[in-house]
Chain A
Amino acid sequence: MTGSLPPAAAMILGALLVPLLRGRARSAWVLLLPVASLVLLVSAGEGEFGRVSIFSYELTLLRVDGLSRIFGLLFHIAAFIGLVFARRGGSALEDASALVYAGAAVGAVGAGDLITLFVFWELLALSSVFLVWARRSERSYRAGIRYLIVQIGSGVILLAGIIAHARATGSVAFDHLGTETLGTRLILLGIGIKAAFPLLHNWLTDAYPEATYSGAVFLSAFTTKVAVYALARGFAGTDLLIWVGVVMTMFPIFYAVIENDLRRVLGYSMINQIGFMVCGVGIGTEMAVNGAVAHAFNDVLFKGLLFMSMGAVLYRTGTTKCSELGGLYKSMPKTAGLCIVGAASISAFPLFSGFVSKSMVMAAALEQNLDVAWLFLLFASAGVLHHAGIKIPFYGFFGPDSGIRTKEAPTSMLIAMGMAAFLCVFNGTFPTWFLYPNLPYEVTYVPFTRAHVISQLQLLFFAVLAFVWLRLSDREPHELPSTNLDADWFYRRFGAGLALTAGGVARRLRNAVAARTVVAAGGAIGSARRYMGPKGVLGRTWPTGTSVIWVAILLLVFLLLYYANTPFTSALPPP
């Protein structure tokens, strides 16, 4: 039983107290919240809770089933590890927004209907942007604004889709949606933005590297994985997603090779890993969806571990640029070792977690005779080894000595990284102890076959051999301070240029018109100014984003009031 609070509310409401606390009290409080929330989730058991009617629609505030439960567990683990990591130097603002953010993620995967999903969807965006802004630099401020625009945009498209869908079907239930109607297609697009679909992906590689050293750890855990969950819930078996997923695994690997900022490399790496999940969701068989979910689980842990190791480097050295790093293993040997565990996990070496989950998606592809897709995924696996398996640890910690000498990461960071590393090895070595039994469908897949172990070792070690050959013969791309143009050029340069030009034209036009108008109707302007001038009521700008935020906040308040009033003591049977 959940008592009187759903899990999501524990972290969100608990976050309100954070600014009042300091030092150890704050640490204890923020670490207690995810634990308490986890207890609420686990004790709830499976079922649907908190049914309410609002605007004549039936809402289900919490639905716990095989699919939502494992994401819920995952988000609690990620929140706890991230908050341990953030103990050193993290501000109250970061703690509070991380807690709201984690709560929103838990709430979103627990949402049994689309309206509740939308509310948490927007809360994800609003809470997470502070993890970027908390860096308190001009760059992070601008990146945060861009991030927020895209994230809120995703929510607006989602909302439009939900409205169209609700009008067409009269239902806001969040079950399998398919892509037959305009409404569900819009919903897919809204989710696709958060899942970093190709060409819609740059918000991720733009904002994550500009976040604080602990902020990026939280960011990597929640937003995209909520999107993967939403895809698995609503769009499993959509053929289009197979190829969207394949493209996502492919193109980021080339960008990751030439990217200089190692946290941005990890951003591209995230898109690559989400590609495997999206592909699995697209295949849609039980094994494929299991694989996608298992990989999401493992990805949060190993990607979190890699982001934490780079966060520790940033904390100690102030940079994560390849061209400025190298030889850090001398100062930070433990961080380097933990980073290697994350690198081995994402590269899917046997006994590390990627090995037991990524291969499920690939095996499912072969089972469905998707041989070409399978070949691409295999190609992308070699790419993962390059940018995440070798580039991150090698150029971060072992490459040519930069002369930087610093201290080992603080103990709290090492503990957090140690927990993530332990879980990577644990899931990779004993997948049947925790990971497989908690997947949405029964697992028949056996990861440790001779064929799989041998072929994987061949693929990986010969890819490493290729690295050694290229490196020794000076054919590896050099680490250069640079910016690489990507799809974001269209809005950061082309679109911005267009807007500025249009603005210039409009200004000239207005000046010309105004000049004539002044002559023609001088007096009328005075009265018009009172209402429509810069200080007039009608003259103020009211961007659409503002109203969306207010709608989201109002809905949130409304839902929270329902949390407070609705007894959660009786589990209602599923419809």
Chain B
Amino acid sequence: MNWITNYVRPRINSIFSRREVPENLWHKCDECGTMLFHRELSDNQNVCTNCDHHMHITPRDRFTALFDGGVFNEVAVPEPIADPLKFKDQKKYPDRMKAAQKKTDEKEAMLVAAGEIGRTPIVAAAQDFSFMGGSMGMYVGNAIIAAAEEAVKLGRPLVLFSAAGGARMQEGILSLMQMPRTTVAVQMLKEAGLPYIVVLTHPTTGGVTASYAMLGDVHISEPNALICFAGPRVIEQTIREKLPEGFQRAEYLLDHGMLDRVISRTEMRDELIKIIRMMMQLPPQIVGDLPAPEEGEEAANAPVDAAASEEAAQ
């Protein structure tokens, strides 16, 4: 072309590239096609402001929106042995892992954290669908066990956000063994008398649904999430007939008695606070501004209640 495009523009770009400009300022809704400004979309927790379609959200972004003031402490997860089966399909499993880690900037497909929501202490775990389809392998199993143990230790409820295509095939039988392992984790919570709330998000399928995701005291789902054991394609191939509209979607499962509630992501936090506070015999959440602290009280509280005062400061 000419010197402007070949020389000047790259120079200018290189000067300005240090500025943190997101690559995609606009995001197209997968469902209705509306162009959404990225800031507006992330403020709305990746829910389309036009059609209410719930797009993927990372566990980290979810926790930032969920916990008071976006403050949470990550709970350490015991590291499982890497590639126990020396699994190789068209790619080696360690290569697939590296690619997933690079893509998501996360170590594995589940994040566990402790913190407060509406000043209600909880432990939360969230599965990351963008990390190898959220698949349940030994790490995810360890994460759920760690989450349950932390909840029991602190005497807090566990809120688990599920999202997975199922078990991680690359860990073969050891991924299947996460079904009984995570079931043991759920039993720890039940024996400690602590609430276990599952929020099923799109998609939750296979062995994940057939273990910890269906053993909650309360099952809440985000709208239109696909929740199933066998996927629709497998079923269509088996029974050779067309499946009804909305089959295996959250609202369909609600109709068939498998869920308690279908709640929009933007209202999920309040819903969880309300339910947990009742189950934990706590007074209702204080809505709106808290009364100004008495003189001297603030200083006394500050070191203990750092998260809350940070929230108040914002």
Q: Do A and B come from one complex?
A: no
